[in-house]
Structure 1
Amino acid sequence: MDHAYRSSWPLIVMVLIGLITLSGCAKNTGGVTASSATTATNNSTTAVLTKADQQISQTKIAAARKTLASAANPNAAVKNLATGLKYYQEAEEALENNQLSLAKGYFETLSSYDGTTDASFIAARQKLVKQYQAVKQANGYYNAARDDLSVHDLATAKANIDKLDRVSASHPVIKELQKKALAMKQAIMNYEASQSTSSGSESSTVVSSSSSSSLSDSNSATSSTDSTSSSSSTATSSSDSSTSSSSSSTLTTSAIIKQFQDAAGVTFASDTEFNITKQTSDYYQITAVYAADESSSSASKTVTDTYRYYPDSGNVTKEDSASGTFE
């Protein structure tokens, strides 16, 4: 009996060793599984950041934000970059609409954000900030030219327009301001030419239906302080004048425009400008300029219509833009 008891000890020891070995294997297998899951998550996050970085370098900010949002388990790097892109997009949209007062706060937030060290984000931010500074400068020159024009300081107005023209058109807003300024300069040059060749006849002027217009969200060209300037939108242009009929020879420009508006049967906006571009013994050729909305996107463009007003008969004809004929 004692012999049988002793012979069972080796078997018990072997069973215990086997159990310990199996337990160790199970623990090791669990560790490998957890490690594999962590590696997969890290690889997924890295792929998301890499793709977003490429999109940012191509200025595809909205796409980059979507890419970051697709991360299953976003880490701090993903979250911080997403926050930076949110600030970027807010500033970008305000700048596109030339809303400089609104953009000022967004750009301050964007410039001071230090939550990410992503190289593409930092480069894109620097480029956008430079565009913001250029747009502010362009607005300053444009508004100064409008103010100069409102007090008939033509030389200073042309000088500010020339300064605006030299600003690098690094943003669509600048291109639009330069286009408007060029039209102002042409009107000034036409007026000056008419003054030098005039023989005492009244030169025509661009008459605005409203006495002034407000240009909001403007900035001083020499500082970063946003300002709002209000200026009269009147400009001057030349008229190709000849001897008018006796019934209209004594009419002032304002009176002619008023008669034309009454005869045209068209309701014009209050900020529409009228330019008498030609005068004969039979009719006045009048261009109606519909001012672009300053608060709209930079893609907005000034639209014009050309009419002929016959004061003796009171008839008004409109030019067909396709054929160039008046009907």
Structure 2
Amino acid sequence: MNILVTGGCGFIGSNFIRQRLTETGSPLTKLVNLDALTYAGNPANLADLASDPRYVFAHGDIGDTALVSKLLADHAIDAVVNFAAESHVDRSIDSPEPFIQTNVVGTLRLLNAARLHWAKLPTSKKEAFRFLHVSTDEVYGTLAAGDAPWNEECPYEPNSPYAASKASSDHLVRSFQHTYGFPTVTTNCSNNYGPFHFPEKLIPLMILNALEGKPLPVYGDGQQIRDWLYVEDHATAIWLALTKGRVGETYNVGGLNERPNLEIVNRICAILDKRSPRADGKPYITQITYVADRPGHDRRYAIDSTKIRKELGWSPKENFDTGIEKTVDWYLKNRTWAADITSKKYARERLGTKA
């Protein structure tokens, strides 16, 4: 199997690629990683795999139809896994337009290039081809405390420019399957965490700020609830959906780990108190600072993963206690990686300038 992965230098994409290339008995002949290397795309995430003869990196945008078409043809691509997206809610509030450009226009162009490639394939290859679109639970809106978790039949009610752009991309994917018979599968996941997570997101931000003696900013009352999914469990679910999922279907992927944000921060602080105590002996929770809530902040997300469990036999291996300890330990062991990100060193290197 030859697959094209878009956005593979980002958090989830790089973990997916790592899992696929290091898996024993992997069926991959070639894995092409197309990434525009915007602020969250970091080649260092995959530096140790760059010499793998199956791995090909291509620097470019999913909206570049000529480039995408060339990659699909030159590498005889059998499947596309689309991770490429602008994904940070705060950034979408500050500047919505890049989210429309990448998540909507970019996805449309990628879909169309892949559809045209698929249409030219011989029958056996055409029947086996898949386009998997990775999306988010945020397309469903927000839940009250007593509401049932979202399943695949729930209506879309996006509440941020980011969520609206991902909802739009999901609808485009669905439309290509319905209109053209193009073999698509969509996954909608809950909040991911784990190694290589970009430092502006909640869990890595709290770990790194704590270690650097900075405030730990908590929005509002800190009682916004999210369902936390360890990124390697998510990568496994994506692979199952790609290889065993039914064409035209959506699979919700959740970690079965609903936690309020404040509980997450407190848990991180408690682990760091044991793993890397402050020099002054004070607990890390003393660094918690409450800040004004995000505009339109969704109160609760929760995913019902029954469908992917029953149909594809998937279940998360990590519970939150094991996953968060692995995550904190990874950041403690990879301070240089995080320092390079926060100093924007890798961005300067891409531009050919010195640090």
Band the TM-score falls in, shorter-chain normalisation: under 0.3
User: Whose Rg is larger?
Assistant: 1
Task: Identify, as 1 or 2, the structure richer in helix.
Answer: 1
TM-score where L is the length of structure 2: 0.24
Normalised to the residue count of structure 1, the TM-score between the two structures is 0.25
